[in-house]
Chains A and B, each alone.
Chain A
Amino acid sequence: MDSTSAAGAADRPNVSAELPTIYTPHTPSEIAAMLAVVGVDSLDDLVAVPDAVALRGPVSVAPARAESEIAATFAGLAARAPGSAYTSFLGAGTYRHYTPPVVAALAMRGEFLTAYTPYQAEVSQGYLQAIYEWQTYISLLTGLDVANASVYDGATALAEGAIMAVNATGRKALLVSAAVHPNYRSVLRTYAEGLDLVIDELNYAADGTTDLEGLEGRLADKRYAAVIVQSPNFFGAVDTPASRTAAIKATGTLVIGVVAEALSLAALTPPARWGADIAVGEGQSFGVAMAYGGPHVGFIATTTEHLRRIPGRLVGRTVDKAGAPAYTLTLQAREQHIRREKATSNICTNQAHCALCATIYLAAMGQTGLRDCAAHNLARARELQTKVSAVGGVRLRFCAPTFNEFVVQVPGRASDVLTGLQRRRVLGGLDLGRFYPELADCILMTATELTTSDEIDLLVFALSEQVARATARV
């Protein structure tokens, strides 16, 4: 935009007359008075820099506009992203669940939205208690002793959990199931690259669970810090090494359980009960918007044995000097701002606001609501599975029990079928060929409590069309 006009300059120095900045409250006379107190002639004097680094123009930044125009611009951009209006069977680490409006009504309160990290505990008791409640919910859901105040997302939670295992055992290798979410494994590898860790994989078996054949043999030389499995796994299957965890632990190897669909914790045997020492995962299903991938909220839970290795923030309950119950950030000596290069992790923020949304969701849903929600997910997924596998040419790819996702095999390429479904405004699921070349004819389909029978019938109709086309092509 143009620089200031002379008339504009008198009222708003350095600002174009057409573009008031609504967030800075200073009037010209106030600026002048303040400059006088500081003892300089102009704002430019205060921000002057040596010539060698002075701004070399021009700078091209999206142009300013009034707020009503901001809204109009975004309305246009939103209209160019119609994906959320399609009938969707996408899951694969981000899930479409019903979030009661009470969550947003509470979480968007200005006190919760615009607070900082609760370093000054006396004025942050609200958030501290809410995070203590989150820590409790995650502990109860995973069955483990303690959870931290949250981490960025499920993938980074896995990376941090793996680092915990490495620090606990002194071993620099990890054994990860190929049925763990591919993006999570990718992030684990990226972090491992930084720390010179070795990542080996366990294949998946014919039934869609992790192939544990010969596991004890692989662990015998005690090279692995942890065995890492996800349950339900990326294929939707219940996948725990329950019968083998004693043998795993006998080699001093830890078990890390990964949970990408947090709602499953309301129904399935919790990680502590099938042998996980550390549980990590994604809490987005608990009232956090999908939002094209973020922000979401990761969790880490573990036993008291590993408490001091937990990264990130922890809220503890104590008393104040008058003996009243009080909450505070605690065990901060582990964290980066004190330990610096010897910290358990570099992590600084948690995902406080997302963890708050999750805590409110869990409080509102309660055990009854969560159980019902899990039941509906199972019911809709069974219905979807039954009807889809009844389409000629389509079959269920894996036979292990599943939660709310499963894999179907289609004639031809999954990507072709999905493209065809898209023409019917249906997002049929995820093309597994994207991550597993041997599964290029497979689709990961997801149903939740929001999936309706009509939507399933639409998918089945569109799928039949695509199968007919694919069969004709062959």
Chain B
Amino acid sequence: MRQLAFDTPLIFESGHPGRANRYLPAGPPLTDFLAPELLRDELPLPDNTELDVNRHFTRLSQKTFAIDLGFYPLGSCTMKYNPRINDAMANLPAFRDLHPFTPDELAQGALAVMWELERSLASLFGMAAFSLNPAAGAHAELTALLIAKAYFTKIGAAATRRTVIVPDTAHGTNPASAAMVGYRVVSLKSDARGRVSVDEIKAAIGSDTAVCMMTNPNTLGLFEDHIKEITDAVHAAGGLMYYDGANANALMGNSRPGDMGFDLMHLNLHKTFSIPHGGGGAGAGPVGVAKHLVPFLPVPLVTCNESTGAGGWESSDGKTFGLDFERPDAIGSMRSFWSNFAHMVRALAYVYANGFEGLTLVSKLAVLNANYIRASIKDVIDSPYDENCRHEFVVSAQQLKRETGVRALDIGKALLDRGYHAPTVYFPLLVPECLMIEPTETESKATLDAFIADFRAIVATAKSDPGAILDAPVNTVVRRIDETRAARQPDLRWHPNGAAGPARA
């Protein structure tokens, strides 16, 4: 499997000085308007022709693996197909060119989008309300912990409730977010079944517990079957339960965090709701809360001026909406404006494409795909939790490493050579030489069969010719990277005078 790959010097190394594009008419001198001492002397950016720019970035795109190119079984990332209708709707000029300070009465359609999405998410996940404010999952976690802190402050318990409890399988953002709110982090050991044990929780909780952060299914892909006992225990101790929505793709239509007893949650729209990952962002991380926490949601919230009925879906037709900034108990704002609105359009388009039944099927098939792969490779690689999984599962290359020297990292690199993106490796930390595989529901049986065959072939090669695997990748545009040099001699930007830099402090 090979492809032509062009050399791509930096855009700064290949400009056409003085050869400008005529996107705008020529402009007058800046000194016509401002005194010279307010102006910069030089603007050392290259001029490029549009053809230069086109070739440069087209060639860069060809050095970038993507869902559109191949299978991307990254555990915990939910790399499902990103439907093009979503982007087309987000790029409608009425939405794309709408200024955030547009008066509410001229932005009703945009507010309606946000309202319909919020109502759908609230019902689907069993929460009283969602804020569409946060820009990403980690941002949402921070938002939720600030909500928790505000809640405890309101009831006079903030001084004592200083601890956040997090399982040892948690995503790194969980403890990092807790630290940003001044909480002390206590880590829980998962039990032999890979779950958080009720005894472990009960031993950890107390009058100092503010929040227990969990995800379900957890990062091992296993359903926390004692979740209701856990949430009851934490509530009994006066704490709040937070649901990390990274794995929500597994439970749509079969259970809801609200019913499990979670008080706070977030979703990653760029995972579960098919927003494109765009090379690492922008994401979107709505935060959902139970009724008693609604007053603390960040401003603004989208409000509907007409009261809605008790049950059943009501569309935005015939209703009017506003942005509510007058919320005395709100934690404040988390970002410059109201939401990553373009992504709200995308997510709503995805909901429209699926409806409740479609989303239910999404979760079922996501779980089927993961189990199919696990069942088909567990005889060649260790599946430490040997039971049916949910939407993702982990395997361990620890035994393979002992026998052959081939590690999880190396298996991942060998997969790159065969046209797949590697799975997530070395997370969660609990499992040594861990690979976490999440196929998602948009992959066909044929793709999974090809992956299974290639995975098995790699393991076989690891045993017969480990050097070949340790040498991978060989088909990619670059070979393994000298990351040590990148960290020891940081070169983080181009310099006009040709020096590498920045120089070490």
Contact = CB atoms under 8 A, between A and B. Distances in A.
Asked if chains A and B are in direct contact (CB within 8 A), the reply is: yes
B138 A53 contact: no
B21 A81 contact: no
A100 B325 CA distance: 35
A328 B486 contact: yes
B464 to A, nearest CB: 23
Contacts of B341: 291-294
A254 to B, nearest CB: 15
A19 B277 contact: no
Contacts of A86: 106
Contacts of A328: 481, 483, 486
Interface string A117-135: 1101111111101111101
A334 B178 CA distance: 16
B279 A1 contact: no
A304 B57 contact: no
Nearest to B349: A70
B503 interface: yes
A21 B354 contact: yes
B194 to A, nearest CB: 16
B24 A369 contact: yes
B411 interface: no
Given A1-B357, A81-B94, A122-B473, A116 B280 contact: yes
B238 to A, nearest CB: 21
Contacts of B103: 83, 422, 427
A440 interface: no
Interface in B12-52: 12, 15, 18, 20-21, 23-30, 32-35, 37-40, 43-48, 50, 52
A200 interface: no
Given A15-B361, A61-B355, A374-B30, A133 B477 contact: no
Interface residues of B, number: 214
A1 B313 CA distance: 10
Interface in A349-376: 349-354, 356, 359-360, 362-376
Interface string A187-202: 1011101111000000
Contacts of B253: 47, 55, 59
A239 B90 CA distance: 36
Contacts of B372: 34, 37-38
Contacts of B117: 62
Contacts of B282: 152, 294-295, 297, 349, 351-354
B421 interface: yes
Given A21-B354, A291-B341, A353-B276, A343 B179 contact: yes
Contact of B335 (A124, A135, A140, A187): A187
A292 to B, nearest CB: 4
Nearest to A31: B368
Given A62-B351, A291-B96, A34 B177 contact: no
Given A23-B83, A349-B283, A114 B46 contact: no
A186 to B, nearest CB: 4
B199 interface: no
A38 B363 contact: no
Interface in A292-319: 292-297, 304-305, 307, 313-319
B66 A110 contact: yes
Given A15-B358, A153-B135, A319 B352 contact: no
A77 interface: yes
B155 interface: no
A75 B102 CA distance: 19
B27 A346 contact: no
A343 B81 contact: no
Interface stretch (B201-209, B287-295, B491-499): B491-499
A123 B283 CA distance: 21
Given A125-B477, A346-B176, A305 B505 contact: yes
A63 B355 contact: yes
B40 A120 contact: no
A113 interface: yes
A183 B336 contact: yes
A140 B146 contact: no
A169 interface: no
Interface in B308-332: 311-313, 315-316, 331-332
B4 interface: no
Q: Tell me which of B332, B336, B355 has the highest count of chain A C-beta atoms within 10 A of its own C-beta.
A: B336
A131 B486 CA distance: 15
A230 interface: no
A449 interface: yes
Interface stretch (B118-126, B397-405, B454-462): B118-126
A396 to B, nearest CB: 15
B69 A290 contact: no
A257 interface: no
B30 A320 contact: no
A135 B485 CA distance: 19
A282 interface: yes
Contacts of A352: 278-282
B481 A318 contact: yes
A114 B113 contact: no
Contacts of A356: 278-279
Interface in B460-489: 473, 476-483, 485-487, 489
Given A14-B357, A83-B102, A291 B95 contact: yes
Interface string A21-54: 1111110001101110111100110111110111
Interface in B48-76: 48, 50, 52-54, 56-69, 72, 74
Contact of B259 (A55, A112, A269, A290): A55
A281 to B, nearest CB: 10
B172 A292 contact: no
A155 interface: yes
B440 to A, nearest CB: 9
B485 A318 contact: yes
Contact of A77 (B177, B313, B316): B316
A336 B96 contact: no
Interface in A306-347: 307, 313-322, 324, 326, 328, 330-331, 333, 335-343, 345-347
Contacts of B83: 22-23
B277 A114 contact: yes
Contact of A129 (B10, B29, B119): B10
B476 A122 contact: yes
A397 interface: no
A364 B100 contact: no
Given A113-B68, A113-B82, A337-B427, A156 B353 contact: no
Contact of B479 (A93, A153, A321): A321
A122 B178 contact: no
Contacts of B108: 80-81
A369 B23 contact: yes
A26 B444 contact: yes
B138 A61 contact: no
Contact of A49 (B255, B342, B360): B255
A147 B352 contact: no
B92 interface: yes
A364 B28 CA distance: 20
B480 to A, nearest CB: 5
Q: Tell me which of A16, A112, A331 has the highest count of chain B C-beta atoms within 10 A of its own C-beta.
A: A112
A378 interface: yes
B481 A341 contact: no
Given A33-B445, A365-B21, A376-B27, A294 B479 contact: no
19 contacts: A21-B362, A23-B353, A37-B376, A43-B367, A55-B254, A56-B256, A60-B313, A63-B356, A81-B110, A92-B101, A111-B64, A115-B280, A122-B476, A189-B332, A190-B332, A266-B43, A292-B337, A292-B342, A365-B21
What 9 pairs between A and B have smallest CB-CB spacing? A64-B355, A293-B337, A353-B278, A375-B27, A110-B68, A368-B20, A295-B282, A80-B109, A366-B47
Given A52-B228, A363-B52, A366-B45, 17 more contacts: A14-B361, A63-B313, A64-B357, A82-B94, A82-B106, A114-B276, A136-B10, A269-B37, A292-B337, A307-B490, A318-B489, A324-B478, A337-B171, A349-B136, A352-B280, A376-B25, A427-B103
